[in-house]
Amino acid sequence: MSLGITWTTDWITESARVVAEHRVELVTLDRAIGDGDHGENLDRGYTAVMAKLGDLPPDSVPGDALKLVATTLISTVGGASGPLLGTAYLKAAGAVGKEPELDGDALVALLTAARDGIVLRGKAESGDKTMIDAWTPAVEAAAAANAEGKSEAEILDAAATAAEAGAVATEPLVARKGRASYLGERAIGHRDPGAQSSSLIIRAAADAAKGA
């Protein structure tokens, strides 16, 4: 069963919900190794997205919704997370184009383009203690599940599980990018807030697919 605009808007809605629910957690994580505003910034961004989501035309496709998220996050979210996630959504929208329904191949393309957009914008690699440490495992797990012929919901579930493990795996790392990189070894033992929020967003995609 492929996933269309209803899944996409459900994913966005669930993302907004979980970001709001975990806002304080994300703020706390960011206070330890960053500016302390990650949760606030993301919550503000997704609140702005939700205010616009109902304005999508009835004939919208998944790419249209993803582009709306991209432009809204870029224009409303401060710090690094707005441009990074905004670019992720923008590249994801480009990857799926005007397709009305997304199959497993399209979902892998979406996640891969999102990850590559973050890499392009932030110049980070796996192991740098950034959101890439959640996105790259998600992409790899999604591709593997798709190659095994898993359903779209199973592909996204595999991606989410890998992203969650990737976020946890940032705790022992020394940060090599962003404000956390100034801390050196003092960043060890702290989970990267961007990786954590990314795992929440990818899990939201999986949860929306289960209800599709």
Domains of the chain and CATH, by start? 5-210 (1.25.40.340)
Q: Do 212 and 7 contact (CB within 8 A), yes or no? A: yes
Q: What is the pLDDT of residue 173?
A: 74
pTM of the model: 0.93
| Angle at the Cα of 163 from the Cα atoms of 18 and 21, rounded to 5 degrees | 10
> pLDDT in tens for each of the 212 residues of the chain?
689 999 999 999 999 999 999 999 999 988 886 777 889 999 999 999 999 999 999 999 999 999 999 999 999 987 778 899 999 999 999 999 999 999 999 999 999 999 999 999 888 888 888 999 999 999 999 999 999 999 999 999 999 999 999 999 998 876 766 655 545 565 576 789 999 999 999 999 999 999 77
Q: What is the pLDDT of residue 127?
A: 80
Q: What is the pLDDT of residue 49?
A: 98
Q: In Å, what is the CA distance from 197 to each residue of 42, 96, 123, 131, 205?
A: 9, 23, 19, 8, 13
Nearest to 198 by CA among 113, 106, 81, 64: 81
Q: Do 40 and 23 contact (CB within 8 A), yes or no? A: yes
Cβ atoms within 10 A of the Cβ of 147, count?
11
Q: What is the pLDDT of residue 188?
A: 78
